[in-house]
Structure formats: C-alpha cells, structure tokens
Amino acid sequence: MPRILCIDDEPINHQLVGRALEALDYQVDYAGNGKDGLEKAHTTKPDLIITDVMMPDITGYEVTRLLRRETQFATTPILVLTAQTGLQDKLKSFEVGADDHLTKPFEVEELVARVSALLRRAEASQRLAPEPIKNLQSGQLIAIHSLRGGTGCSSLAVNLGIGLESLWKQPTILLDLTMTAGQVALMLNMTLRRTWADIAHFQPDELDLDVMQSVISIHESGLSFVAAPTFPTQAETLTSKTLAAALGLIKDQYEYVIADLPHDFSEPALQALDAADIILMVATPDMASIRAVKAALDTYLQLGYSQEKIKLLLNATFPHSGLPKDKIESALDLKSVAVMPYVQDAFVEAINFGRPVLLEKPHEKISSLLEDFAFYLSKPEHKKQKPANPTEAWMRVYKRYQERRK
C-alpha cells in the first residue's frame, strides 16, 4: 500500500487530500507545518509527498529543497500545491526539485491523476535502474566538446545517449557538465531532483556508489543522467578532485558514458577530456566555428591527447552558405567522421517539448543518421558480433547496413 505524506497548515486541505485519495487505498499521513513535515518524512518514509507552499514556518519550496539534499529522498516524488498561478511559481517548484505542481483549488480527479502518475513513474524508474556490471574493465567515455555555443552539442549528447542505450540495452549514462546553464534535464523533460551540486560537500574518498546513485536520474528510455544545477553558484564548491572521483566511479558502473561539456577548458571540461576515450569535436560549417575547432585542437595537442581519440563531427545548424566539407577538413588537417544535415525545426521542437528526436521521430532520416553514428561510436566488442537478443534499434542499423552493401 503506497504511503502518502501531506504537509499543509490548513486542516481543511488535509481533509480534501484525504477524501480525494481514499478511494485509491493509500495510507495518508499529515503534518501541520514544514518542520513537522520534515520530521514526519523521516519517520514515515513516504512513497510520495504532497506539500503546500505557504506555511507559517518554512515554505513548501524550502521543504522540497531540504528533502532533495538527503539521499533517502532523492527520488521520492514530491507534488507542490499552491494558490499561486504564475509561471514563476511553477518554475520555482521545479527548480527546488519538485516533480509536479498543482494549483489550488484543485479538482479531485486531477489530484488523483497526478498522484497516480507520479507513483507509476517512480515505480518505473526503479525497474529501469541498471544492475551493477560485474567484471567491467571500464566504461567508454565520449566527451562532446566545442569552444563555441550554438553547435548543437547538447542535442547530440542527448540523442547519442538514447541511441547507445537503445542499441545495446547496456547501462548508459549522460553527464551534464555544463555547470553554468545545463540543458540535459530540460531536453529530457525531467525534473531537477538532484544535481552535481548535491555531491559538492563530499571529499573524494567519501564518494561511493550509494552517494553517486543518489544524484543519478533515469529517463523513461532507460538512459541514466546526472543533471547540472540550475544556478552556476550551486556548483562552485564542487572540486576537481571530487568530480574526478565521481567520473571514476561512473566509468566502473556504466558501459557507456556521454559527457556534455561546457564550451571552454574549465575544470569540469578538463576532467572529462582527461578521462575520455573519445573526444567528439562538434563544428558548424562557418568560419567562427572552424576557428574555435582549430584552437581546441591546438590545446588538445598541448595537453598530450592522442589524435586517434579526437573525432570531428560537422553539424549544419543553418540551411545555406555553409563552408564546403573538403575545405573545412583541409583547413583543420582532420577528416570528419560524420556530417549531420540541417533539419528545419526538428531540434527546436524537441527541446521545447522535452522529446528527443530519436524518440519522437525514430523513422526520420536524421534519426537514422544519429542511430548509425551511435553504432559507429560503440565499443568494438559490441559492434563485431550480433547481440543474443537484438534490439529494434540494432535491427534498424543492421538493415540499413545491408541495404548500403547492395
């Protein structure tokens, strides 16, 4: 029987929530203010928490924020109830880590639907959680990098993560290391429950798998991810040593690790680049982007990175007047491994609705290219033989391969 905790300073709201949920055979506990709610959460260990916003001691936002800082409540669904109807109020709910936001007065049917959906999602996430890999030597880390914004790095990272997970059904994780304005959670339409900021206070030797699992979320596709915090200041105390330790733990537990990097050589970028097996340099076919790629390549050389692990991808983010592929390769003295064509509105729509192209439009040409590219980046041992239980994604890739051979 699911256990629900309702935190609200108005007794009438306790009755309304209780009556709405009584038909679902849930056990409902009540707290009359924020502090009492925090105590009840620790004693009752609810499967879902409903909290009002305006309370006399601490707000529901603060209750949510405090709960999300604790490992045991990292994935507990939280529904915020508020009389405020503004967009800013909804954004605040999600920024502090709530899963959903419902305006009062509410319809009974809507509350029931929201609660049921949140519990189903939580149950599904538990089923999707990957089993620890035994005898894994090390996962393959693919760092996606560009010194210039607007090249589509985050969209590529999200879709490649989904592509790799769909191909092999092996533990795959996406790391949002753009600590100033990460977009991965938004692109997956997922709530910012826990982020890198929640491990910032740990020393490197204090990190373990349980701590890391507390900041890892799971998308409905099966892709795991670690989100960047909403505000840059929240990640300021995350040291390079703690981040390096976290990357090491993750590589030991996931077959594929995709890192979406900031457009610089900051500490998060350097830690991922140092640990990367593949550096995917993303460029758009314009002079400014090519100049940025040249600067990055020179820096890679100074850092001692092997040229074999550096891959160039050309991504057309505008329809016309792009520099020719051969001219770009000649200028950089580097062959591109793939070219992604311009697709009008597809990626903008995907970002706005939080539905990655590879999931929303799996049979479109751009999705085929992304899927094939994910296969190209896969581990050699995976590519060289047919899986015992081929996935639909693998079958699509294989069919296209066979057609190209004819």
How confident is the model over 47-79, as pLDDT tens digits? 999 999 999 889 999 999 899 888 788 889 999
Short-list 245, 252, 166, CA closest to 202: 245
| CATH code 3.40.50.300 region(s) in the chain | 140-405
- Please provide the size of the chain in residues: 406
Q: How far, in whole angstroms, is CA 168 from its chain's centroid?
A: 19
Q: How confident is the model at residue 106, as a pLDDT?
A: 85
Residue corresponding to tokens 């996935």: 391
Q: How confident is the model at residue 127, as a pLDDT?
A: 66
Q: How confident is the model at residue 253, as a pLDDT?
A: 92
CATH superfamily of 3-128: Response regulator (3.40.50.2300)
The model's confidence at residue 135, banded by pLDDT at 50, 70 and 90, is: low
pTM attached to this predicted model: 0.79
Indicate if the pLDDT at residue 133 is higher than 60: no
Residues forming a β-bridge with 267: none
**Quick one: average pLDDT of 365-377?**
96
In the CATH scheme, what architecture does the domain 140-405 have?
3-Layer(aba) Sandwich (3.40)
Q: How confident is the model at residue 130, as a pLDDT?
A: 63
**Quick one: average pLDDT of 282-292?**
96
| CATH code 3.40.50.2300 region(s) in the chain | 3-128
Cβ pair 215, 190 in contact under 8 A: no
**Quick one: average pLDDT of 188-199?**
85
Q: How do residues 245-286 score in pLDDT, each as one tens digit?
A: 999 999 999 999 999 999 999 999 999 999 999 999 999 999
Percent of the chain residues past pLDDT 70, beyond the cut: 96
Q: How do residues 198-245 score in pLDDT, each as one tens digit?
A: 888 889 999 988 889 888 999 989 999 999 987 788 888 899 999 999
**Quick one: average pLDDT of 109-119?**
90
